[in-house]
Structure 1
Amino acid sequence: MQNNDGDTRLLTKIASMYYIEELTQSQISKKMNLERSMISRLLKKARSLGIVEISVHQEHSGLIDLEARLESIFNLKEVIIVPETYNSLDSTNNKLNIGKAAARYLDRIIKDGDIVGLALGTTMLSIANALNDTKNVKSIFVPLVGGSDNNKIEYQVNIIASKFAESFGAEAQYISAPVVTTDKRTKEYLIQDASFTKVKSLWSQLDIAIVGIGAPIQSSNLIWTGAFGNKDIDLLNSKKAVGDILSRFYDIEGNIIYSELDERIISLDLSLLKDIDFVIGVAESVEKAPSILGALRGKFINVLITSESTARKILELNDSN
């Protein structure tokens, strides 16, 4: 590199080999008879002189900023915001796209040996239906909650666990109990059954949990509209319940609401979610923003997958409270 022209030529050549021909630095080193450390320095110089200009085309750069804000404020591992390029009131399309995003994320992080816990409901079904071309893993999918009274079998947690397991070529365990029992004695009897004991033993070994976030005002909530009676709902309203995960309730500040209902509910306790490496909360709609905010403040989830309008509403509510 005796002169500027020669310097520029060498920098351009090496940059072309690396960025266009996609040779490794080791391959360039051998071809150019230069030390590998020199190749690294020359590539940096090519960028500093403007010979190489790297640009990342971010069609949704505003979403990236939103994700970063939520990750920072709530100390989350990752936030994925799905853009709304359609009518934001179209809940079917919203749920479909959210499900696809959650399916891609799970396929990215899951590995052999993982034990994955699942909730029930329409959001979980949308994820299960979006699991296409996934990798095969030696994992176990296990329900984290009992079944609901909803008469649509595809929403049941055992069906959902089966769909997840089939997509990944993995194993599924099943739960033989309702999410809400009629009384305390029924619950005590069911949780002593050998089949439930096996499921519960897996709850203490969870690596990943995927959960929806329920809002009491939404008619799509399978629990509030089915298993609970008016007396139960009045009790939760009196305690300012803002949402639920796995049919366990909390307020806007993320405080768990304990009541006699817990003596009838069969699901993983919210406090145990904090010991799991990945707890993926999947939920969207502006109406659910308070429920999601409570879940974030309670640190019940550490990954959030949601829509743009929902994310903005969460930040607005957090700033105002």
Structure 2
Amino acid sequence: MLKNTKFNDSEMARMASILIKYYHFHKKQKDIAQEMGISPGLVNTILSQAKKNGFVQNLISMPKENVLAAHVQELFSPDIPAPNAIVVPFSKNISGQERLRGIGVAAARYFEAIARDGIHITLDGGETIFCMIEELRRAFSQIEVYSVAGGPQYDPYTSVNLLVNCLLVQFGATRMNPHILPGPRDKDLPIYKKKAQNTLKAASKADVFFLGVGALGRSLSRTNRKNMDDLGIDYKKLQDRGIVGISAYSAFDAEGEHVICELDEKILKVAPEQIKKAARSRNRHVVILAYGLPKVKALRAMLKGGWGNCLITDSSTAEKLLDKNERISKHFTPI
């Protein structure tokens, strides 16, 4: 391959991941191949391409977001066979709304790259997922879309069921079938019970999950506080029990372990074990969408606990995630 060959974003991200695993973490080519689900020969070829194009000697030649993404991949649980991280670059003075939209755009493009007709999707709630839905441009047919949980419905940004309906509007009623779960007040009614159990079973087997992240503490949004109050849950008591975050209406600690609490009694939802099982599959995608420094602790726990196999975040959040881990070297060790 000629020097200065141009690579697309996907090729650059994969190259960055392989380079950092090989030169920074000193992993063997066969181990890298196994982690990434590719052949050792392809790993060797990519390393050769990187050397010919000058990426090995000078890390500055490679976009910083690709390098960050490669480092973040090392934070995933070793149970995840082929972790992926997408880091969206932003300048420090960008507004929160622009940052939110940027994450949504990245998530939409990722979904369009992996989606197909007949795909099954399970959605969590949250603003980032709402923005992803708004940014979808490609249409697919015969899509089955499920709620991950039947949570409170105060706000279209956080209500799972309303987001399912937003996707219905985006794709059109002839292209997809929505499957929603009853909320806390209705989940035990006989009229809903059987259908809800069937929906949960199907939702847990989805091809793609999109998960949001809720961090406890000062960063807990006003809507989430209202949801907690309505459910009769004191979020401060959850903190006292070592809970650092909530995703898909399940609480977890700093190790990413599910902590059984009032949410499990009051919300009908896909079990965390089912989500983690999907994340361990090479053929399924469990995508975590989150950004912002207040969510770093919860995000780090989710990656460690095996809650997903793909993270889409921004550059400042990625840098903060790495603060307690390996520092990003400005240069690779020369060959």
TM-score over 0.5 for the pair: yes
Q: What is the Cα deviation at residue 192 of structure 1?
A: 5.2
**Alignment partner of 1:69 is 2:76:** no
Q: TM-score normalized by structure 1?
A: 0.72
Match of residue 115 from structure 1: 120
Q: What is the Cα deviation at residue 318 of structure 1?
A: 4.6
Gaps of 5+ in 2: 7-44, 279-283, 328-335
Match of residue 303 from structure 1: 310
Contact kept in structure 1, 2:187 and 2:268, CA below 8 Å: yes
Match of residue 92 from structure 1: 97
Contact kept in structure 1, 2:204 and 2:275, CA below 8 Å: no
Q: Alpha carbons of 1:260 and 1:115: their partners in 2 closer, same or farther (altered >3 Å)?
A: same
Distance 1:72 1:319 in 2: 9
Gaps of 5+ in 1: 1-14, 20-43
RMSD over aligned CA atoms reads 3.1
Contact kept in structure 2, 1:161 and 1:172, CA below 8 Å: no
Contact kept in structure 2, 1:177 and 1:190, CA below 8 Å: no
Q: What is the Cα deviation at residue 319 of structure 1?
A: 6.0
1:1-321 residue pairs with structure 2 within 5 A? 61-74=63-76, 75=80, 76-85=82-91, 87=93, 90-132=95-137, 134-150=138-154, 152-153=155-156, 155-168=158-171, 170-178=175-183, 180-181=184-185, 187-189=187-189, 193-217=193-217, 218-220=219-221, 222-228=223-229, 232-276=234-278, 277-318=284-325
Q: What is the Cα deviation at residue 227 of structure 1?
A: 3.0
Distance 1:73 1:154 in 2: 28
Contact kept in structure 2, 1:70 and 1:79, CA below 8 Å: yes
Q: Alpha carbons of 1:311 and 1:175: their partners in 2 closer, same or farther (altered >3 Å)?
A: same
Contact kept in structure 1, 2:181 and 2:268, CA below 8 Å: no
Provide, for residues 260-299 of structure 1, a one-character-per-residue CA deviation record: whole Å limited to 9, x for no partner: 4311122211111122221000000011000100110110
Provide, for residues 301-321 of structure 1, a one-character-per-residue CA deviation record: whole Å limited to 9, x for no partner: 11000011101111114569x
* Counterpart amino acid of residue 156 in structure 1: S
Identity of aligned residues (%): 24
Q: Alpha carbons of 1:121 and 1:73: their partners in 2 closer, same or farther (altered >3 Å)?
A: closer
Q: Alpha carbons of 1:223 and 1:163: their partners in 2 closer, same or farther (altered >3 Å)?
A: same
Contact kept in structure 1, 2:89 and 2:314, CA below 8 Å: yes
Flag the structure with larger Rg.
1
Provide, for residues 18-77 of structure 1, a one-character-per-residue CA deviation record: whole Å limited to 9, x for no partner: x9xxxxxxxxxxxxxxxxxxxxxxxx9xx99xxxx8689x98611111111111332553
Q: What is the Cα deviation at residue 148 of structure 1?
A: 2.1
Distance 2:152 2:128 in 1: 14
Q: Alpha carbons of 1:138 and 1:176: their partners in 2 closer, same or farther (altered >3 Å)?
A: closer
Q: Alpha carbons of 1:156 and 1:234: their partners in 2 closer, same or farther (altered >3 Å)?
A: closer
- Higher share of residues assigned helix: 1
Distance 2:245 2:157 in 1: 23
Q: Alpha carbons of 1:254 and 1:155: their partners in 2 closer, same or farther (altered >3 Å)?
A: closer
Contact kept in structure 2, 1:215 and 1:221, CA below 8 Å: no
Distance 1:93 1:222 in 2: 21
SS of equivalent to 1:111: coil
